[in-house]
């Protein structure tokens, strides 16, 4: 029976696709990829006979129509998506018509651009006693935000915020963060084309200088904005260490030094 796989291609670097995703691409009869972002992964790993198409100019109906048509001809059909398919990827809108058509489908997760962006800058999304929470969100543009999810409300938590699809709305981000109680000196990380060989740009900025810094770096698209009290922690002299590796902390796999000494 045919199956349509929604595969996360990762953030850009073709090596960041999962082994499972790559193996499915290698045996796929047809692949529909989402624009230039994921074309390299598709063409690099696919077999010679594989039909490869770009969905750039397609409507949702055309995309699902294509997937349904190809599923009638091939055992493995792939919809290749950027990053992870579950984030801003119209996944459910594509799965529903397949369900209606009685076509089996599955999802292979991918490395999201949020993860690739912090990796590019060697930053951590969480830090003990600083923040233990990450919010993946976007600023309201043409897509309205549901009630309670405006940036001012979310930013009041003072935790890590990863802002997708928001690079054209920097001035709103600046004013919303200040309204939510962030200091204007607070650090912000912007990564354009994270993990893309030779194209990645990392900008370290502050809330106050964010707009000017992004303009100076000519970043207008494909960027992740990370606002977090953890940024820059690599150079802090005082760091609360993770309990996991603390010598005085016992967990399932390791006894604390104190308990080990008592035993011996």
Residue in 42, 194, 227, 231 binding ligand SAH, rule: CB under 6 A: 194
> 228-257: which residues touch ligand SAH (CB under 6 A)?
none
108 binds ligand SAH (CB under 6 A): no
Piece of the chain touching ligand SAH by CB under 6 A; list 69-77, 97-105, 146-154, 217-225 = 217-225
Give CA angle at 203 (182, 223), nearest 5°: 90
254: DSSP letter: B
Instruction: Give min distance, CB of 83 to ligand SAH, in A.
Output: 2
* Burial (CB count <10 Å: 0-12, 13-18, 19+), residue 145: middle
In the complex, what is the shortest distance from the CB of residue 17 to ligand SAH, in angstroms, rounded to a whole number? 13
Query: Which member of 9, 46, 71, 87 binds ligand SAH (CB under 6 A)?
Result: 87
Do residues 130 and 228 touch, judged by C-beta distance below 8 A? no
Q: Is 29 in the site for ligand SAH (CB under 6 A)?
A: no
Rounded to an integer, what distance in angstroms lies between the CA atom of residue 187 and that of residue 217?
17
* 88 near ligand SAH, rule: CB under 6 A: yes
Part in contact with ligand SAH (CB under 6 A); list of ranges 38-46, 60-68, 87-95, 178-186: 87-95
* 108/28 Cα distance (integer angstroms): 14
Task: Tell me the CA distances in angstroms from 131 to 160, 228, 255, one per residue in order.
Answer: 7, 8, 26
Scan residues 135-164 and list those touching ligand SAH (CB under 6 A).
Answer: 164
| Intra-chain end-to-end CA distance of the chain, in Å | 60
d(CA 112, CA 250): 33
List 64, 105, 117, 174, residue binding ligand SAH (CB under 6 A): 117
Q: Does residue number 82 form part of the binding site for ligand SAH (CB under 6 A)?
A: yes
Choose, by CB under 6 A, the member of 64, 76, 105, 112 that binds ligand SAH.
112
- Point out the residue whose Cβ comes nearest to ligand SAH: 83
Two tokens, residue 78: 């792939």
Closest residue by Cα to residue 236 from 123, 117, 156, 85: 123
Q: Give the binding site for ligand SAH (CB under 6 A).
A: 11-12, 82-84, 87-89, 112-113, 116-117, 164-165, 191, 193-196, 222-224
């Amino acid at each position: 029976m045919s199956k349509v796989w929604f595969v996360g291609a990762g953030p850009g670097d073709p090596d960041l696709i999962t082994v499972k995703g790559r193996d499915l691409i290698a045996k796929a009869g047809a692949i529909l990829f989402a624009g230039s972002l994921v074309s390299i992964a598709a063409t690099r790993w696919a077999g010679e006979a594989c039909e490869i198409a770009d969905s750039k100019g397609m409507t949702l109906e055309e995309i699902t129509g294509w997937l349904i048509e190809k599923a009638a001809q091939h055992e493995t059909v792939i919809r290749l998506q950027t990053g992870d398919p579950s984030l801003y990827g119209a996944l459910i809108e594509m799965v529903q018509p397949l369900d209606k058509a009685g076509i089996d489908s599955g999802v292979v997760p991918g490395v999201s651009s949020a993860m690739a962006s912090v990796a590019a800058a060697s930053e951590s999304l969480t830090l003990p006693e600083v923040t233990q929470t990450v919010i993946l969100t976007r600023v309201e543009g043409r897509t309205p935000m549901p009630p309670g999810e405006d940036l001012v409300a979310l930013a009041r938590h003072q935790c890590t915020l990863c802002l997708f699809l928001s690079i054209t709305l920097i001035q709103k981000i600046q004013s919303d963060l200040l309204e939510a109680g962030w200091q204007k000196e607070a650090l912000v990380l912007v990564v354009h084309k994270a993990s893309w060989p030779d194209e990645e740009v990392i900008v370290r900025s502050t809330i106050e200088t964010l707009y000017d810094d992004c303009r100076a770096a000519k970043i207008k698209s494909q960027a992740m904005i990370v606002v977090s009290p953890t940024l820059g922690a690599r150079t802090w002299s005082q760091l609360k260490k993770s309990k996991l590796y603390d010598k005085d902390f016992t967990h399932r796999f390791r006894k604390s030094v104190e308990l080990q000494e008592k035993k011996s």
